[in-house]
Amino acid sequence: MTVLKANNISISFGGLRAVSNFNLTLEQGELVGLIGPNGAGKTTVFNMLTGVYQPTEGEILFYRDSSNPESIAGMKPYQITKLGMARTFQNIRLFKNLTVLDNVRIAFHFNVRYNSFQSILRTGAFYREEAENVQKALELLEIFNIREKSNELAMNLPYGEQRKLEIARALATNPKLLLLDEPAAGMNPQETQDLMKLIEFVRREFHLTILLIEHDMNLVMGICERISVLDYGQIIAEGTPSIISKDPKVITAYLGEEVVTGA
């Protein structure tokens, strides 16, 4: 079952065509990588998919169910989050002055069942749901092994844990599709290994489809089933990790950087 389809999306900034005729179809449960050299347009693609930028051309369809695709290009980011797409950012965007727990607890508010009237009057329904949210937030923090830090300010967590907290917060919005922008950036090899296992675990546990941008080729080649490669805003290759790692266009785009690591 298809979850997302981007058909020929493009965007220009002034004279620069940052992404050109980008196509992508994601099927339910897939884990797909988006790679490419610095400045290739990867984050710009994420920004178009999540409503931060509106494509100048093309169409983006999000499938809440198989028969009802919704056109999401031009929607606001919070509307897209509500539909079931969550993301993390290359430059971590936590509420740094809030606690770890509150960062996740607040994200549950995308799906609260109580109405504003009940929240103003602080009814039983409000308190019950808030208590449930705290419980669910703590369970998410447990998965990411940061539950014992729940009362610390987000800004006091080490970098790797801030990245994990961002993923936990994204999951709290109850997404069907999760977009991760360089989840392993700044992590050491052991943390990256642990993160790979976590990503695979949450994909299974939360029945997610995942699209990730990553420069760490161990991670990309190790967990992605399919990879799209961008260079100068255009897809230059698509396929399995083993096909991608041998593709001459990809090797050239990376100018001799080590593309293959263990695939």
Ligand X SMILES: Nc1ncnc2c1ncn2[C@@H]1O[C@H](COP(=O)(O)OP(=O)(O)OP(=O)(O)O)[C@@H](O)[C@H]1O
Which residues contact ligand X by CB under 6 A? 13, 16, 18, 36, 38-44, 90
Closest CB to ligand X among 15 and 117? 15
What DSSP string describes the chain? -EEEEEEEEEEEETTEEEEEEEEEEEETT-EEEEE-STTSSHHHHHHHHTTSS--SEEEEEEESSTT-EEE-TT--HHHHHHHTEEE--SS----TTSBHHHHHHHHGGGG--S-HHHHHHT-HHHHHHHHHHHHHHHHHHHHTT-GGGTTSBGGGS-HHHHHHHHHHHHHHT--SEEEEESTTTT--HHHHHHHHHHHHHHHHHTT-EEEEE-S-HHHHHHH-SEEEEEETTEEEEEE-HHHHHH-HHHHHHTTT----S--
Task: Give 104 or 259: the residue with its C-beta nearer to ligand X.
Answer: 259
Instruction: Please say which residue, 84 or 183, places its beta carbon nearer to ligand X.
Output: 183
Q: Which is nearer to ligand X, 11 or 85 (CB)?
A: 11
* Shortest Å, Cβ 204 to ligand X: 28
Least CB distance from residue 40 to ligand X, whole Å? 4
Q: Which is nearer to ligand X, 161 or 182 (CB)?
A: 182
Q: How far is the CB of 246 from ligand X (least distance, A)?
A: 22
CB of 135 vs ligand X, minimal distance in Å: 36
Work out how close the CB of 218 gets to ligand X at its nearest, in angstroms, rounded to a whole number. Answer: 17
